[in-house]
Amino acid sequence: MDIMKLVIACHQLSFSSNKYENLNRILSVLEETEAQLHVFPEYSMGTPPSGLTPIFVKENAECLEGKFVNKILEKTREQGLAAVFTTFLKEGEWFFNAAILAEKGRIKALYKKIHLFDALGHNESELFSSGNNLALAEVNGFMVGLAVCFDLRFPELFRAMAYKGVDLFIVPSAWYKGKYKLEQWRVLVMARAHENGAYVVAVDQTNPFCIGHSIVASPWATVLKEVGEIETSFIIELDHKQIKEARKLIPILALSKPELYRDF
């Protein structure tokens, strides 16, 4: 296995309101598609036709030991692969919009969405509590950092991960439709990649609520792959040499002065 390269399968799906139907789709995809790392969109547990509500979240949320998470963990162990997926995570009386990086039956990173989507008429903070920790893990020579959807608008989060060695950002998303939303999505994904000399893999839900257009961006702010609005899966191979080359020629992280910025 070449530890300088990583084969990723991106699965642009539209999840139904039935949690176990969505779970079975994820399990089937993991069985049918060959890749080292699989990435699924945000809200993997589902979205009702009228949109997410506190009642829907509470009725479907599970702890880490629940069936939804553990069935996926079992499948990653059976298939010998890694996967990033999301869950409505219940911890006592708290509910989080969480992304999980699992590999071969084990949770390697757990990210609780920090920046909740309280914008453009949405109030995600009515559904979830916000997290307060980064989530990083190594996968086949790449240092992976997790973020979720609206987090893309906060470059500080990505730079904080980059300072800790992250060179591959994975961003499960449910990027809602709206005026200029596609333009913003593309610009933000490209910017987060280039300003950190890293890859960004942003996998979105699609119709009826979301724009689709899952994107893989290079450290040079080029689009390595972008799909349209249909449900689809695609496979892409990332080469770590591109990160080394970009960071050598444009040493943004080495030239950055975080200690100075904090004094402004």
Q: What is the pLDDT of residue 4?
A: 87
Distance CA 85, CA 99 (A): 6
- The answer to whether the beta carbons of residues 46 and 18 sit under 8 Å apart is yes
Q: What is the pLDDT of residue 8?
A: 98
Distance CA 67, CA 73 (A): 10
Q: What is the pLDDT of residue 2?
A: 66
Q: What is the pLDDT of residue 134?
A: 98
Q: What is the pLDDT of residue 70?
A: 98
Residues of the chain with pLDDT under 50: none
Kindly report whether the global pTM for this prediction surpasses the value 0.95: yes
Residue given tokens 């598609």 in the structure block: 33
Its CATH class, for the domain covering 5-261, is: alpha beta
Label residue 178 left, alpha or beta by phi (over 0 means left) and psi (-120 to 50 means alpha): left
Half-sphere CA count of 63, side-chain side, radius 13 A: 4
Q: Where are the domains of the chain?
A: 5-261
Tokens coding 218: 């290079």
Q: Which strands sit side by side in the sheet containing 142-146, from one edge to the other?
A: 136-139, 142-146, 168-173, 199-204, 215-217, 223-226
Tokens coding 213: 């257009």
Residues belonging to the chain: 264
Distance CA 234, CA 10 (A): 5
Q: Which strands sit side by side in the sheet containing 106-112, from one edge to the other?
A: 106-112, 94-103, 82-91, 37-39, 5-12, 232-239
Partners of 82 in beta bridges: 37, 103
Task: Write the single-letter amino acid at 167.
Answer: D
> Residue 158: which residues within 8 A CB-CB, separation 6 or more?
145, 147, 151, 166, 169, 192, 195, 196, 198
Q: What is the pLDDT of residue 1?
A: 57
Q: What is the pLDDT of residue 262?
A: 87
- The answer to whether the beta carbons of residues 23 and 181 sit under 8 Å apart is no
